[in-house]
Structure 1
Amino acid sequence: MKKKWWQKEVIYQIYPKSFYDSNNDGIGDIKGITQKLDYLQSLGITTVWICPIYKSPMADNGYDISDYYQLNPEFGDMKDLDELIVKAKEKGIKIVLDLVINHTSDEHPWFQDVLENPYDSKYRDYYILKSGKDGHPPTNWRSVFGGNVWEPLKNTGEYYFHSFHKKQPDLNWENKKVREDLYKMVNYWLDKGIAGFRVDAITFIKKDQNYDNIPADGVDGLGKCTKKTRNQPGIAEFLHELNDETFAKYDCVTIGEAPGVPYEQYGDYIGDNGYFSMIFDFRYADLDVASGSEWFKRIDWNVLDLKKLIFTSQKEIQKAGWGANFLENHDQNRSISKYIKEEGERNLYSATMLGAMFFYLRGTPFIYQGQEIGMTNFKRNSIEEFDDISSIDQYYRAMDEGFTAEEALHFMNLRSRDNSRTPFHWNAEEYGGFSKVKPWLGMNENYKTINVEQQEQDPDSILNFYKKIIGVRQASECLIYGELEPILEEHPTIVAYKRKLETEEVVCYFNFSDRIQKVELADNKYDVLLNNYKEEATLYEKEHSLQPYQALVLLKKEESHHE
């Protein structure tokens, strides 16, 4: 594979609403990001991906766009974004924006025109409109955020289609005019000087054109729309055209949010002529639930299950192209709360072990804001305290499916997208230094003990260890480009792998347990690149005892005898 600039990046995802509030209105903003560039630079970040900042009524926190060319006033204006792009570049940091082209907001001028002139709007075919059947919606498909995918178009007997929230009508990609308008917009932003896009929900742009009913899979009598609306045959044509008309014309990075793509199709997505630079694989992120969108269907899992999912993903991505490795994002819960099951074991060692384990996988690593200081899930006491539309839907669906209100609330606390959206902890002051006024979303109360200011002053903090993790990767061609080879694949609590590039070999061990575990080292001398316990410069012994939650990354020395 030819080396590309984005393979060596370290990408930091910012949820702008919750990062830093520069004007004290309780909502994070673009100027807030600009003011924290020194922090990002000191962490070792090279690219920042910012969740949507476009004009939006914020029904789904910006993933419902009402104007692709304007910014939402609560985040700032175009001058603020231009300043951010320039100042970030001065610090060696690139800016990636979110691209949401499966749907718009129902407040987008195109859709508003359809509402005003349902029969003769020139934008009528920009959306998916169908007649109902005997007073019922056209099909029994359930939207990702619950309820039917069809919403009545007032006084017409017709319905419009939404894969997600009813305020997010899907665009009709079968219409060439829509596609051309979208491509023009994509190129506008790339011309502006951004480094590329994370591409939202892109596997939803092609629908099964039969629009027939499917077997119900819930007590609501509906079936999951993904069977008919995600990764459908014929999507390749759209994705090729999107790439040809936009991304391929620029030296940009594209990160596809592409759930539902079978591994055998990965070559089409991320191969040499793939649609995207890299895509996220959600299989290991969703290992605790039966489906990424049904949180009440819990699955018990162990370290071996996690390891198998990670290694299968790595092997398949390695065959096809390049991956995007992540522990957390704005749609997931906090990783230390998910992957370290016992609350008493969520500490410096387990947080740093987890961070290093995913960081040295093959692919570009993504850090989600707050992950680098070990931010955790919250505990809410009632559904009224949640903001996320998906959590509210899941809560009521869980009860419809026979769970109690207490059980439903428990599922939401475990898995709600609000877990990762709570305001960032900058210091121990009121509201965690995020704002001087009450934030838009309730804080996680542990900001007094988990925050940047404290961790910057503590040489042994999670934050300072993340800086080491990043520094080690960026200094090693092998950890960036090397092939990954799993080792100890059947061990119940150790995740271990080798990275190999030409003659160089790095061996990585991660102990996912609170017990000492012994590992056999090859008869070699090793330099210790990273250790979350006391520093040892070189290891000689044949058998090594991994401490509880130890991360140990070793560079194999050339000579195969003890000096």
Structure 2
Amino acid sequence: MKKKWWQKEIIYQIYPKSFFDSNQDGVGDIKGITQKLGYLKSLGITMIWICPIYKSPMADNGYDISDYYQLNPEFGKMKDLEELIGQAKEQGIKIVLDLVINHTSDEHPWFKDVLANPKTSKYRDYYVLKPGKNGQPPTNWRSVFGGSVWEPLKGTDEYYFHSFHVKQPDLNWENPQVRKELYEMVNYWLEKGIAGFRVDAITFIKKDQNYENIPADGVDGLGKCTKKTRNQPGIEDFLHELNRETFSKYDCVTIGEAPGVPYDQYSDYIGENGYFSMIFDFKYADLDVASGSEWFRRVDWSVQDLKKMIFTSQEEIQKVGWGANFLENHDQNRSISKYIKEEENRNFYSATMLGAMFINLRGTPFIYQGQELGMTNFERDSIEEFDDISSIDQYYRAIDEGFSAEEALHFMNLRSRDNSRTPFHWSAEENGGFSKAEPWLGMNNNFKTINAEQQEQDPNSILHFYKKIIEVRKSNESLIYGEFEPILEEHPTIIAYKRKLNGEEVVCYFNFSAEEQKVKVESSAYDVLLNNYKEVGRTEQELTLQPYQALLLSKKEAIHHE
């Protein structure tokens, strides 16, 4: 495939509320990001994706936008963003913003006009409004955040539709005027000089127009709306038009959040004439739960399960285009707490092994804030300590489904989106050096032992090893553009693969076990590119991998496995 500039980027995701608070009000802000550009530059990243900073009542922490053209005052002013874009550019760092165009806030002027004039508003058709049936909502679909997707529209017998929170009414993409207004807004931001967008919940923009009931799948008598509202036939017309009217006019990068897309449709999304530059694949991120939206249905998984999911994802994406690889994001729990099951094994070796495993896959790597320090999940004592609307819904749904309050709380501690949203640990000072004021969300109490300041000073820290991983990837074209080839597919605890380009080959081994593992090889002629241990255990025919060892070997001659 053609080489594109965004294939070699290293992207760092920032959750602005929790990154750094420059004005000491307990909430992170845009100036806070600008002040920490030196830290990001030294890590080696080349692009920042910032979660939504637009005007919002913050029901879903900014994913409910009330004005696409204004910034939320708690984050700062437009000049702050322009200053960040300019200063980042001087450091060789590009900026990507979130694009949320499936829904608005119910406090957006369009929807406020609908609420004020439900029968006559010129914006009625900007949203999905349907009459009820015999005093009941139009369908029995459950929203992603729980409860019916339908909310009564006061003063009428109609309901408005929300795939997500009740304060996030879905836009009616069937209306060409809505699409035109959205495209104008997208182009406005690209003209501002951002490098592109991460495109939120984009597979929800097309609904099944029959609006019929579906079989219930919970004790609430509702069925999951994704069966009728996600990746529906006809979405391709909207996505081609979106690309044609906006992205294709700029040399920008677009990263689609596209859950629910089967692999046989990936060519439409990321193929030669695909809608986006790359998309996230959530299958391996959600391997511990039966579905991304039902955390109380836990799934026991093995390293072999994880390996199969990663290998399938890599091979399917490789057939058609480019992927966006991630271990963590603002909707996920912390990776070391998820992928390393025993707490006693969550350490420098397992954290760096995980980082090296995913950064060297084929695709553009995304690092989520705090991942490079090995930040972990928290332990909350009560549902009152949670902010995340999804966690609160999941807690009460778990109880409705027959689990005890204690069990429900345990599921939330494991999986809550708040796990990744706790303020960043800058130092061992009060509130982790994030703010002098009480943070908007309770800290993870281990900031005194896991923080950036200590790790900056320790050459043997997780942070320093992340810098090494990034440096190695940047300086080796095989690890950027090389083909992905799985190896040791049947090994129960090792994930291993090759990256191959123009006769060059890098062999990558990752031991997901607390035990030594031996691997037979036919050649020992190689250079060590990366190793989270000081030594390599090897003989002519055999490699010995230490617990949670990450080892990248650059071949001098082919390394064959038995």
Shorter chain as normaliser: what TM range?
over 0.9
Cα deviation, 1:304-332, whole Å, max 9, x if unaligned, reads 00000000000000001000000000000
* Alignment check: 8 A CA contact 2:538 2:544 kept: no
Cα deviation, 1:398-418, whole Å, max 9, x if unaligned, reads 000000000000000000000
Are 1:483 and 2:483 matched, yes or no? yes
Task: Quote the Cα distance in structure 2 between the aligned partners of 1:132 and 1:334.
Answer: 42
Match of 1:377 in 2: 377
Match of 2:144 in 1: 144
- Return closer, same or farther for 1:354/1:560 CA change in 2, 3 Å cut-off: closer
Cα deviation, 1:114-158, whole Å, max 9, x if unaligned, reads 011111111110000000001000000000000000000012011
Task: Quote the Cα distance in structure 1 between the aligned partners of 2:247 and 2:535.
Answer: 45
Cα deviation, 1:464-492, whole Å, max 9, x if unaligned, reads 00000000000000000000000000100
Q: What secondary structure sits across from 2:533 in the alignment?
A: coil
Match of 1:226, as an amino acid?
A: T
Match of 2:215 in 1: 215
Match of 1:341 in 2: 341
* Alignment check: 8 A CA contact 2:146 2:393 kept: yes
Percent identical among aligned pairs is 83
Cα deviation, 1:332-366, whole Å, max 9, x if unaligned, reads 00000000000000000000000000111000000
Cα deviation, 1:245-271, whole Å, max 9, x if unaligned, reads 000000000000000000000000000
* Alignment check: 8 A CA contact 1:203 1:259 kept: yes
Match of 2:531 in 1: 531
Question: Which segments of 5 or more consecutive residues in structure 1 lack a partner in the other structure?
Answer: none
Match of 1:135 in 2: 135
Where does 1:449-464 land on structure 2 (aligned, <5 Å)? 449-464=449-464
Match of 2:556 in 1: 557
**Alpha-carbon shift at residue 523 of structure 1 (Å):** 1.6
Match of 2:291 in 1: 291
Task: Quote the Cα distance in structure 1 between the aligned partners of 2:385 and 2:441.
Answer: 8
Match of 1:497, as an amino acid?
A: Y
Task: Quote the Cα distance in structure 1 between the aligned partners of 2:101 and 2:53.
Answer: 14
Task: Quote the Cα distance in structure 2 between the aligned partners of 1:319 and 1:397.
Answer: 40
Are 1:92 and 2:92 matched, yes or no? yes
Normalising by structure 1, report the TM-score.
0.99
* Alignment check: 8 A CA contact 1:525 1:539 kept: no
Q: What secondary structure sits across from 1:509 in the alignment?
A: strand
* Alignment check: 8 A CA contact 2:427 2:454 kept: yes
* Alignment check: 8 A CA contact 2:495 2:510 kept: yes
Q: What secondary structure sits across from 1:261 in the alignment?
A: coil
Match of 2:14 in 1: 14
Q: What secondary structure sits across from 2:85 in the alignment?
A: helix
Q: What secondary structure sits across from 2:297 in the alignment?
A: strand
Task: Quote the Cα distance in structure 2 between the aligned partners of 1:49 and 1:10.
Answer: 11
Match of 1:231, as an amino acid?
A: N
Q: What secondary structure sits across from 1:3 in the alignment?
A: coil
Match of 2:552, as an amino acid?
A: V
Task: Quote the Cα distance in structure 1 between the aligned partners of 2:540 and 2:528.
Answer: 13
**Alpha-carbon shift at residue 542 of structure 1 (Å):** 2.1
Match of 2:279, as an amino acid?
A: I
* Alignment check: 8 A CA contact 1:525 1:540 kept: no
Match of 2:74 in 1: 74
Match of 2:545 in 1: 546
Count of paired positions: 560
Q: Displaced runs of 4+ in structure 1, greater than 6 A? A: none
Task: Quote the Cα distance in structure 1 between the aligned partners of 2:284 and 2:337.
Answer: 15
Where does 1:411-490 land on structure 2 (aligned, <5 Å)? 411-490=411-490
**Alpha-carbon shift at residue 540 of structure 1 (Å):** 6.2
**Alpha-carbon shift at residue 385 of structure 1 (Å):** 0.0
Normalising by structure 2, report the TM-score.
0.99
**Alpha-carbon shift at residue 541 of structure 1 (Å):** 2.9
Task: Quote the Cα distance in structure 1 between the aligned partners of 2:22 and 2:459.
Answer: 28
**Alpha-carbon shift at residue 521 of structure 1 (Å):** 2.3
Cα deviation, 1:371-425, whole Å, max 9, x if unaligned, reads 0000000000000000000000000000000000000000000000000000000
Match of 1:352, as an amino acid?
A: T
* Alignment check: 8 A CA contact 2:146 2:394 kept: yes
Where does 1:51-200 land on structure 2 (aligned, <5 Å)? 51-200=51-200
**Alpha-carbon shift at residue 560 of structure 1 (Å):** 8.7
Task: Quote the Cα distance in structure 2 between the aligned partners of 1:20 and 1:270.
Answer: 34
Q: What secondary structure sits across from 1:500 in the alignment?
A: strand
* Alignment check: 8 A CA contact 2:521 2:559 kept: no
Are 1:202 and 2:202 matched, yes or no? yes
Match of 1:554, as an amino acid?
A: L
Match of 2:307 in 1: 307
Q: What secondary structure sits across from 2:499 in the alignment?
A: strand
Match of 2:107, as an amino acid?
A: E
Q: What secondary structure sits across from 2:145 in the alignment?
A: coil
Task: Quote the Cα distance in structure 2 between the aligned partners of 1:307 and 1:386.
Answer: 32
* Alignment check: 8 A CA contact 1:395 1:408 kept: yes
Match of 1:318 in 2: 318
* Alignment check: 8 A CA contact 1:102 1:202 kept: yes
Task: Quote the Cα distance in structure 1 between the aligned partners of 2:514 and 2:209.
Answer: 53
Match of 1:493 in 2: 493
Task: Quote the Cα distance in structure 2 between the aligned partners of 1:172 and 1:361.
Answer: 38
Task: Quote the Cα distance in structure 2 between the aligned partners of 1:38 and 1:290.
Answer: 41
Task: Quote the Cα distance in structure 1 between the aligned partners of 2:538 and 2:185.
Answer: 55
Match of 2:350 in 1: 350
Task: Quote the Cα distance in structure 2 between the aligned partners of 1:476 and 1:259.
Answer: 31
Task: Quote the Cα distance in structure 2 between the aligned partners of 1:534 and 1:558.
Answer: 23
* Alignment check: 8 A CA contact 1:11 1:364 kept: yes
Task: Quote the Cα distance in structure 2 between the aligned partners of 1:472 and 1:123.
Answer: 53
Q: What secondary structure sits across from 1:48 in the alignment?
A: strand
Task: Quote the Cα distance in structure 2 between the aligned partners of 1:540 and 1:480.
Answer: 30
